[in-house]
Every structure is written in C-alpha cells, then in structure tokens.
Amino acid sequence: MKMRIFLLTSVYPSQHATRGTTPVVRYFAQEWVLAGHEVHVFHTESAFPKAFYVLGRPFKRILDSKLGHLVPTQAPKEYDETVDGVRVTHVSLKKVKPHGRFPNKQIQRIFNIISTYIEKEGLPDCFVGHWDNPQLELLHLLKTKYHRPTCLVYHSNLFSQLYDCYGADTDSLVKDVDLVGFRNITARAAYVEQFGEPTHAFVAASGVSRPFIEAGQITEKTFKDISRFVYVGSLINRKYPTAVVSALFQSYQQSPFDITYIGDGDDKKLVQQRFDELGCKGNLTFTGLIPREEVIHYLKQSDVFVMISKGEIFGLVYLEAMALGCITIAARHQGIDGIIEDGVNGFLCEAGNVNELASIISRIRNMSSDDLNIMSKKAKETARMYSDVNVAENYIHELSKIVL
C-alpha cells in the first residue's frame, strides 16, 4: 500500500538551518520516497525577534554548551524545495520566547498554509508530526477538519512539561493522536506513567545509513592491544566529553592511549586542559565537524566508541559505531536501552560517571580477542537490524494500522 503522507516537523535540515541540525526526519522521508510513497514535509520553524539573534551570536558556543542544544543565529526563511524526491515547505511561526505555546494567530496561519496545499494536492492518507510543539496542536486541527488519522513522534521523555505549554488542553490534545511514537523505550515508559497506555504506539528508532552498513560488512577488526578510542558528538556539558579523558587516564595511568573527538563545542578547551593536567600519554585529536561519511574512516581505525551523555533521546551515532564493529560504550537510560544489551553487544554506563566508565574500559582491556570479536560481530548484527530501510519500513507498517 503506497501512502501520501503530510509530515510536520520542527527540526529539518535547510539552507538556513543551524549547522549540525539533526537530519533524523529527513532520513525517514527519503526512505519513504524511495519505497514509492509520496511525502510532503512542512518544516515549522520558530522565528524570534531580531534582538534574539543579534544578542545570541557572540555567545553561541557558550549557549550551545550550557543549554545542550543548538541556538539559532538567524531568522528562518520561508520557501519550497524538493530534495531527493521529498517536497519540503519551510514555514516560520513567530513567538517572543523560545519555549511555550505559539500564539493562536500563528497556529491558524500555518494551518491555512497546509490547507492550501491540500486543496492543490489532495488529501493525504495521514498526518505525521515530529516534536510536540506546535505539531500536537496542528495535528488536532487537521484531524478535526479533514478526518484523517494522525501520528506524533515525541522527541523527549519529559511529558509533564507538556502541561507548561498546553495547560488545560494537554490531555485532550494528547489523547486525540491515533498513533504515538517514541524514540526509545524509556520515553514510552515515561509516557505511560503520565498519560496511561496509548491505544497504538511504537518506537520510532533512527536507522543506520547504507554507507555505514556496507563499510561494516567489509571491515574486520583485530582486537589485540586496546588503545584506540573515538567520541562522536558535540563537545558540550551534557555529553561529558572531559569524563572520557578522566576515565581513560584512570584505566591506563602511564600507558599510552589515543582518543579522537569528532565534533565541536565549547568544552573542547576543557578536554585539552584535562588531558594536559593529568599528564596523559598518547594522542589527543580533534577533527572538528566533518561530513558523516568521513566519520566512517575514524570508526574503522578505532577499537572503542565511547560517549556517556545525558539527555539523549536516541543516539544514532551509537548504532553507526556498532555497524563498524566498534566496542561501544553508551549511557544507561539515555536512549539506547533495549538496543545495546550490556556486556553482549556493547556496554552501558551511568551518564557522566567517570569511575564506572573507567571500570568498563578496564574490563574491555582484559577481555580476550575472541570475546571482543564476538561482541563486535553482535554489534554489527544489531546495527543491520536497525538499518535505515528496516526502520522506515517498520514506521510505514505502524502507520498502515491507522490508515483505513
């Protein structure tokens, strides 16, 4: 069954998007189009007063690090484009504060824009939203007028905060969604605790792209002297990049190790400072932001991938590392639970816990080559299960259950 899908999302790469914007929704859209579905994306981006951008630019790196997310430095533009077969309409919603509900006038404006495209293109089979604000409200309006089923994928597990945004309307808006998606099993459990068990629900995991899967199929690691580590992610507080250096020193002491940080952020100087203060032996490398395809090279050359950050709602980079056979250390209860089985296809550590991370690293160093090879192969098997094709097909399968 081929579907026509209207996909609403607050985050989507664009010509004017902040560098490093997550492409997760774009991946879903592209795979659906490749499978023969028709997809029209409506990128609903917040637009703030000019002073917000002017005042924020000089402090962007600091704000990114402290807040744990990318701070925009310019107002969004409105335009249409088609990229890789996906029709994208970029629209902006004005608001004064970064958080909180959008004014009714802005919601109605976006609703009218979407309605205009419906008049031109015809009704979609379903409306799908990613991120709750303003999608939760827009989906309700679209469902009420056009009588099409709706799906919303939450990108947070802090569901009590919905009341801060939608107030007394929260429960009715939440319950009106026909299919509820979560980025991980922890978020699903939090939703159930807050609102009860949804009628239809699924985990909308991200998928590993073909280049990573294919590279893993032709790459065989030989685990002898474990000493090559890699970190891929923003160098910001909530990802604890300095904790990695501290844990490595605890495990290696005066023995050399190599650690490569792929990414950028305000904590870069702190990482270098910690490395120098501890007197670590070996090499510390910063690549900065590099194309995703180039990350493959570093994963091929590394024994262990490590990032024990908090606030991760999924963490595709863990699966990408697993696809290349890296022994992967991720944070427990931070988005990858249910995918990494501790001690089987990787390891789980409390977010930011230096002592536990050091213990895990020492455990890896003491594992036999045979045991490490078994774990590496199981990591690859897991990553193949979560290929971008497989997760997109599963997503469509869940949508088909609500499309009459």
Inter-residue contact 150 to 86 (CB < 8 Å): no
Query: Pick from 305, 393, 397, 388: which is nearest to 24 by CA?
Result: 388
Give the torsion sign (CA, 42, 161, 180, 125). negative
Q: Is the pTM of this model over 0.85?
A: yes
pLDDT band at 335 (very low <50, low <70, confident <90, very high): confident
Q: Whole-angstrom Cα distance, residue 131 to residue 42?
A: 12
- Averaged over 367-385, what is the pLDDT? 97
Residue 289 in tokens: 């932001």
What pLDDT does residue 357 have? 98
Q: Are strands 86-94 and 79-83 parallel, antiparallel or unpaired?
A: antiparallel
Q: pLDDT band at residue 18, thresholds of 50, 70 and 90?
A: low
Residue-wise pLDDT tens digits, 187-209: 999 999 999 999 999 999 999 99
Q: Between 100 and 295, whose confidence is greater?
A: 295
Task: Answer whether residue 269 shows pLDDT above 70.
Answer: yes
Burial of 173 (0-12, 13-18, 19+ CB in 10 A): middle
Structure confidence at residue 315 (pLDDT)? 84
Burial 373-387 (b: 16+ CB within 10 A, else e): bebbebbbebbbebb
pLDDT for residue 177 is more than 90: yes
Q: What domains are there in the chain, each with its CATH number?
A: 4-207+388-400 (3.40.50.2000), 210-385 (3.40.50.2000)
